[in-house]
Amino acid sequence: MEDRDSSPTLLLRSGATHAMEPGGFVINCTGHFNAAAQPYEPYLSDSGRVLTIGSGATVQVLSTVSAYLLVHLWLGDKLRDLPLYELDPLALRRKSRDVATVIGSSHLIYNMLLMVAHLPKSAREEFGTDTMRWYPLPRRLLNSLKLLHFHRGHRDHFRRALDVVAERFDIRCGPLSRPVHSELLIHK
């Protein structure tokens, strides 16, 4: 898949290409199950018309959760400017399994809280992995407030930890290189 001119272009195994209709978009999930090194493909193309759920630029450790959240944000036109951190977990695991395990938590929490905060209400309500739904509403509200306070207080810490890992291990771990609109951050 390539993002050329005004539309996504399919690259066939034969080497032939097939341009899609202008305005078309593609969700590419073909590279997630291959643990071998693959060419870098960001989770969102420059034009925003190709969303890739792959193993080389993850925003969440579980591909199913990543796909659910990213697709909802993408179709709601909220993904392009969201300052998510992409991570190449395979490269980090090759360099340090211990660090990959630990930094995976910071990566997951930082991105997850940012994505959930920008999901439409209907997508949050349908999100099948929300274990908070097991509890009565007053407890859920209190826990949600605690989580929001935690995220506001630790967001910069997560980013710094991810930046240190990117620099120390020379791996791809950071936001996509596009401008970020500050109103998409959860303000302190």
Lowest mean pLDDT among 25-34, 64-73, 86-95: 25-34
**Does residue 17 have a pLDDT over 80?**
yes
Secondary structure (3-state) at 89: helix
Q: What is the mean pLDDT of residues 157-177?
A: 91
Report the pLDDT value the prediction gives residue 38, as an integer from 0 to 100: 67
Residue 147's pLDDT is: 79
Buried b (16+ CB within 10 A) or exposed e, 63-88: eebbbbbbebbbeeeebbbbbbbbbb
Confidence band, pLDDT 50/70/90 cuts, at residue 171 = very high
Read off the pTM.
0.74
112 closest CA partner among 93, 129, 136: 129
Q: Domain spans of the chain? A: 2-184
Question: How would DSSP label each residue in 47-67?
Answer: TS-EEE--SSSBSSSSHHHHH
On the question of pLDDT at 90 being above 70, the answer is yes
Is the per-residue pLDDT at 169 higher than 70?
Answer: yes
d(Cα 142, Cα 75) in Å, to the nearest integer?
30
